[in-house]
Amino acid sequence: MKIIITFLIISLFSFHVKAEMINAIANVYIYGEVKKPGIYKVPEGTRLTEIIKKAGGLKKTAWTKDINFAAPIKDSLSIYIPSEKDIKKEEKIIQQITFKDKNINSYKYRNKTRNNQKINLNTATLEELDSLPGIGKKLAQSIIDYRNKNGRFKSIHELKNIPKIGGKKFIKISKRVYI
């Protein structure tokens, strides 16, 4: 009898934990070229297209070429929808820089400037960290090494503990990262 009751309690607890995992809520901030920018609560795993619908849809000026509408949503995600004007302005800057200095790797520069989505410091890959302004592959690896050694970041201000990330560099990247 005692074994059956213990099994029943464990089963109920397991069901409760699974139900909580299934019902995980994601708080998502969407802004830019959406009609109603703001923070939305949705079940984790909801597709980006659903968040856009909740935000009233896209404005006519939204740049949709590089958006993955089927992307699943995670908690604490910040999503920026750029305008066509933003992209054209960015392209013009890239062209000017490319013509002024032929040694600039315009592809890498283009990726660093176009990628406006925020990056989670606790899950970011080397490539994602490398896309941040002023962060190259070596510094991106240093960030990953720090994370592996010290555990998950508790604050973006911990980046200042990494050699070669001072006040100016921190200010540049702080708007592009989150925990």
For residue 52, pLDDT over 50 is answered with yes
**C-alpha distances in angstroms, 7 versus 12, 17, 19, 21, 122?**
9, 15, 18, 21, 37
The alpha carbon of residue 11 and the mean position of all alpha carbons in its chain are separated, in whole angstroms, by 36
For residue 67, pLDDT over 90 is answered with no
Average pLDDT, the chain: 78
Residue with tokens 């703001």: 38
pTM of the model: 0.44
For residue 141, pLDDT over 90 is answered with yes
84-178: CATH architecture: Orthogonal Bundle (1.10)
The rounded distance, in Å, linking the Cα atoms of 57 and 30 is 11
Q: Give the lowest-confidence range in 6-10, 134-138, 144-148.
A: 6-10
